[in-house]
Amino acid sequence: MPPVPSPGARSPLQTAMADCGLIAILRGIKPAEAEAVGDALYRAGFRIIEVPLNSPEPLASIRNLRQALPLDCMIGAGTVLDPAICPDIVRAGGEIVVMPHSDPHVIRAAKAALMACCPGVATPTEAFAALAAGADVLKMFPAEQLGPAVVKAWRAVIPPAIPLVPVGGITPARIAEYAQAGATGFGLGSALYKPGMKADEVASHARDFVAAWRKAYPQTGQQA
């Protein structure tokens, strides 16, 4: 099931996900590495990159990515636990907040700072509460426990314009089954990037993921 845009003009997040619904999670990246890795991801087709806040100097990495990459690539912060950090994320150039949980205080702080927000949810109750608080995307976490069958069940009740993004244990080989169940995108961690990984190795992994994405969603994505 391909991404479904909302009526009217697309938001930057909708545009990025329509181009490529893969979110790169660069947990552990250092600021000096960010530009080269970000460029490798962008060239492979990625349009959303997240730096978890439990990485070394995460705001500096976000700043470096934002300065280095074209504006059609969204840069954001992950593992956001404290609503008070949202203004700092914006000042660093962040445009999206990704969370492992669905604390409404963090969601509202992200939206108040004019960022998109992707909270982590594991039940329909959490999902609808997150949407009521202003969530733009639902991060289905951990995907290893939820699986394609749960994605299919959720897709039947979650509004079709709301992206469902499984995160956790996603590999290129698993994208097709989640796509058939109704997933809109995917958050990619250690299968894409591990701390200290060189840009050329990240690029190789990224190309594998983008190829799997384009095969599963043939009507979406960059075709260049």
Any idea which residues carry the catalytic annotation? 50, 139
Angle at 207 between CA 204 and CA 213, to 5 degrees: 150
Q: Which two tokens stand for residue 215?
A: 């095969």
172 cis-preceded (ω within 30 degrees of 0) = no
Which one-letter amino acid corresponds to residue 6? S
Residue 166, φ and ψ in degrees, nearest 5: -65, 140
CB atoms within 10 A of CB 181: 19
Q: Count how many residues are written for the chain.
A: 224
CB 46, CB 76: distance < 8 Å: no
